[in-house]
Structure 1
């Protein structure tokens, strides 16, 4: 759950039991949520807790504004530069010339961001996972969005998938906002502020709520909501 800025916190409970509690809570909000959750079935959110925050941020930048296949290809070419290494260290990545990374498919802007993340990992601005687990959502967002090219959405994905936080609502995410529009059969997609305000009612399970909103079909009739 989200804690106050600067306070210590424990990694969120994302056990199967916690998912079931979240499903019951969200289903009890209104008939639209109940129908959608019944249609999709149990939450199968898949986190990546073994990754360090540095790696998670670099991977997120690789996929920014790209289709998954394009991101996969770029990342694969980058990883191939380092042989059998599962993922390059911050020093290895920082020492990789920009023209080599450009050959992998990274733009100049992304190269600058990736090098900045690597440097920030070396100087401690990007914390190790063990340290990050004790830092609040708010504090991590403020700390990491100070890096060039790292926005709030990128840090929220880190919080959701790497640090397994259970109460994160990525209000900037179009898929979340559009999913809610489809859930409620609205004419217009809610704004970031609107979905943030609406989503307060989904706490302390906003991560699971986002997971379900990402799974709204384009045709509401396919979900039995109209």
Structure 2
């Protein structure tokens, strides 16, 4: 499986920008996006679960509250907390269940994070979506930030979709299927294109990735 990395990231940004004038305009106006990357850890998957359907800042605040409570975020330490204690760390009832289920899957050996990066995209998606609370968006973010798989378009990501519609001046009601078809133009570097879209979205709004 091909991967992108810190050494070839700018080169791949230039390559995908050659395929789309709107992506070229992002680099021209805002420069290259940061090299966003996360380690292959339980804490990273917890963080991505916390980011589901909330702001990045809110998710980070919840993660930091958890770290204040238990220090290193490990499956065994999370499972020592009661639901009420997780609620005090700003966890919703649903996400409490999802994170505990993930912790149990890792402790039981149902999931082995060390093995995931050596698998194909489809295999990783099958293993992760088998877990309660992990859907395609969560897997997309894991594949992009952790495994550095270069050809992911997270069609469920609101910021990327909003940025794409703004850039190409598409109607707000433009459907997901059309946008997925549009993203095919960026293959095999749809992940890199998405990084540019996020960079545009945040830069235009004067926001930093927390």
- Structure with larger Rg: 1
Q: SS of the counterpart of 2:126?
A: helix
Question: Relative to structure 2, which stretch is displaced further, 19-28 or 108-117?
Answer: 19-28
Could you give the per-residue CA deviations for residues 53-83 of structure 1, whole angstroms, max 9, x where no partner exists?
x22211122233333333233222211222x
Partner of 1:43 in structure 2? Answer: 33
CA distance in structure 2 between the partners assigned to 1:58 and 1:88 by the alignment: 9
CA distance in 2 between partners of 1:22 and 1:189 (Å) = 31
- TM-score norm. by structure 1 comes to 0.80
Structure 1, unmatched stretches of 5+, are 1-8, 221-226
Q: How many residues align?
A: 204
Q: Does structure 1 retain, via aligned residues, the 8 Å contact 2:49–2:95? A: yes
Tell me the secondary structure at the aligned position of residue 118 of structure 2. Answer: coil
Q: How does 1:73-92 map to 2 (within 5 A)?
A: 73-82=61-70, 85=71, 87-92=72-77
Aligned to 2:150: 166
Q: Is the 8 A contact 1:47 1:162 kept in 2?
A: yes
1:195 pairs, out of 166, 176, 179, with 179
- Aligned residue for 1:33? 23
Q: How many Å separate the matches in 2 of 1:207 and 1:58? A: 21
RMSD, matched Cα? 2.3
The superposition leaves residues 67-122 of structure 1 with CA deviations (integer Å, 9 ceiling, x where unpaired) of 3333233222211222xx4x232122123211211121111111111100101111
**In the alignment, which residue of structure 2 is the partner of 1:101?**
86
Q: For structure 2, which runs of at least 5 residues remain unmatched after alignment? A: 205-210
Runs of at least 4 residues off by over 4 Å:
none
TM-score normalized with structure 2 length: 0.86
Q: Do the aligned residues in 1 keep the contact of 2:160 with 2:201 (CA within 8 Å)?
A: no
